């Protein structure tokens, strides 16, 4: 996929705000899961069920997305997704027990995945060949804002407010983003010859010679890149959920310090995502993605052998440099090779990513209950190897058909 220079216009920056909302929620919520489990008196595996609830919401989003796009159009559905997310977070932070926190997280995931899906579709269509850089940078902005999340959780715990105060900030961010996107849609609707998509499932890119034909078949290379997406989601979510427990188990750090170390992961992820444009332009999105899985293994090795919080932070930063480009580049490649089937490809991406979010943290939490968090983290390099292999195989298949 040839790269071109990224244009950061108002349309692009406004859509970045959707990833800001999700970044704050994800990276304040995920490191709070062990603290939530302690508050509610449940095991790590039961705490990991919040990941399963997120998967349920994401899977519902994948199934309803095409129908809702036809009924509401992208602009209204994007705003509705953000409002739904805000309502779910409000319910979650006010919930007194697991019976209400789980469905609240499902609502958050439903709204959040709808909003993210449309934002990524719009960025892909708006930027064409520069879509990998745009989607990667959007995620970089999100993780950059999310970087404050673990620190906010640690500070809120330390001063006695509790982790819920940090997570609740998501409500304000989501409503502000919804307002900005509503104004953008109104301006686009009144402008003559608006150049950005605002309605239903438009064609996002022309079909090149040798490209995928329209219909229900997925493009060549999709299976391998979906393996890469599963690996990317497993690495990121399993680490953000349970690295706090690993740091506590290996270094003896208290809850506030161990939670704050998760910020190291976000530092690395943000740095590499903000470098997404020059990296993909120089080396190609598929090559950067394959290399990122190898870098993730190096970060895991440092984290896994750490016996002090400082070394653990260094490992998390290095792991983040690997993790950061994986999800956005896998998504951008999948949408790019899909061509005019991008709407359907995004629904598949949402389903696969959501299912992985639900399964991976739960399985790692169950393994941590059985053998300890340290031993359970051996799964990380295994998934990284699978991700690298999936990327190479998928990119080769897509390139053979002229899709990359």
Give the HSE-up count for residue 339: Cα atoms under 13 Å, Cβ half-sphere.
22
Residue 247, classed as helix, strand or coil, is helix
**Among the listed residues 126, 153, 121, 120, the one whose alpha carbon sits nearest the alpha carbon of residue 139:** 120
Tens-place pLDDT, residues 62-73: 888 888 988 888
49-94 vs 342-371: helix crossing angle, rounded to 10:
100
**Among the listed residues 38, 116, 118, the one whose alpha carbon sits nearest the alpha carbon of residue 76:** 118
State residue 261's pLDDT score: 79
- Map tokens 């502000």 to a residue: 176
Q: Which two tokens stand for residue 378?
A: 């051996």
How far, rounded to the nearest angstrom, does the alpha carbon of residue 376 sit from its chain's CA centroid?
Answer: 22
State residue 1's pLDDT score: 41
- Map tokens 């890149």 to a residue: 225
Tens-place pLDDT, residues 393-402: 999 998 888 7
The Cα 51–Cα 242 span in angstroms is 12
Eight-state DSSP code of residue 216: S
At the fourth CATH level, the homologous superfamily of domain 10-189+215-400 is MFS general substrate transporter like domains (1.20.1250.20)
State residue 161's pLDDT score: 84
**Among the listed residues 33, 26, 19, 18, the one whose alpha carbon sits nearest the alpha carbon of residue 101:** 33
Tens-place pLDDT, residues 299-357: 999 999 998 888 999 999 999 999 988 998 998 899 888 877 777 888 888 888 888 87
State residue 191's pLDDT score: 65
Q: Do residues 312 and 306 lie in contact, with contact meaning Cβ atoms separated by under 8 Å? A: yes
Eight-state DSSP code of residue 218: P
For the chain, give every domain's residue range: 10-189+215-400
| Radius of gyration, alpha carbons of the chain | 20
Q: Which two tokens stand for residue 402?
A: 């002229």
State residue 199's pLDDT score: 38
Taking only the tens of pLDDT, the chain with its 404 residues reads: 445 677 888 889 999 999 999 989 987 887 787 788 788 777 766 777 887 788 889 889 988 888 898 888 888 999 999 999 999 999 998 988 888 989 999 999 999 999 999 998 888 878 877 888 888 888 888 878 877 877 788 888 888 888 888 899 999 999 999 999 998 888 877 764 444 444 333 333 333 333 333 445 678 889 999 999 999 999 988 887 788 888 888 888 877 777 777 778 878 988 888 887 788 878 888 999 999 999 999 999 999 999 888 899 999 999 999 998 899 899 889 988 887 777 788 888 888 888 887 778 778 878 888 888 888 899 999 999 999 999 999 999 988 887 77
């Amino acid at each position: 996929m040839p790269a071109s220079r990224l244009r950061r216009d108002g349309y692009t920056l406004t859509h970045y705000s959707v990833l800001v909302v999700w970044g704050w929620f994800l990276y304040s919520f995920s490191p709070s899961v062990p603290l939530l489990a302690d508050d509610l008196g449940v095991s790590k595996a039961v705490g990991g069920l919040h990941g399963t609830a997120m998967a349920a919401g994401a899977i519902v989003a994948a199934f309803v997305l095409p129908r809702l796009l036809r009924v509401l159009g992208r602009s209204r559905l994007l705003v509705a997704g953000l409002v739904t997310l805000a309502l779910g977070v409000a319910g979650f932070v006010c919930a007194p027990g697991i019976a209400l926190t789980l469905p609240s997280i499902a609502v958050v995931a439903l709204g959040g995945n709808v909003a993210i899906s449309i934002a990524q579709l719009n960025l892909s269509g708006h930027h064409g060949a520069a879509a990998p850089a745009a989607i990667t940078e959007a995620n970089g902005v999100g993780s950059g804002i999310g970087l404050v999340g673990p620190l906010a959780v640690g500070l809120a715990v330390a001063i006695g407010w509790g982790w819920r105060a940090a997570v609740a900030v998501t409500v304000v961010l989501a409503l502000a983003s919804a307002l900005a996107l509503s104004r953008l849609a109104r301006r686009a609707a009144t402008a003559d010859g608006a150049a950005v998509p605002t309605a239903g499932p438009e064609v996002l890119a022309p079909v090149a010679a040798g490209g995928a034909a329209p219909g229900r078949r997925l493009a060549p290379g999709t299976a391998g890149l979906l393996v890469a997406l599963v690996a990317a989601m497993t690495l990121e979510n399993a680490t953000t959920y349970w690295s706090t427990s690993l740091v506590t188990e290996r270094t003896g750090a208290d809850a506030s310090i161990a939670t704050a170390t998760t910020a190291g992961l976000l530092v690395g992820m943000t740095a590499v995502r903000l470098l997404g444009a020059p990296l993909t332009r120089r080396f190609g999105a598929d090559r950067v993605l394959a290399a990122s899985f190898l870098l993730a293994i190096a970060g895991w090795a440092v984290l896994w052998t750490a016996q002090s919080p400082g070394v653990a932070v260094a490992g998390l930063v290095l792991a983040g440099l690997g993790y950061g480009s994986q999800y956005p580049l896998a998504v951008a490649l999948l949408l790019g090779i899909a061509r005019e089937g991008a709407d359907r490809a995004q629904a598949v991406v949402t389903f696969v990513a959501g299912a992985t979010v639900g399964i991976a943290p739960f399985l790692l939490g169950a393994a941590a209950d059985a053998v300890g968090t340290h031993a359970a983290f051996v799964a990380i390099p295994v998934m990284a190897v699978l991700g690298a292999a999936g990327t190479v195989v998928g990119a080769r298949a897509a390139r053979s058909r002229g899709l990359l």
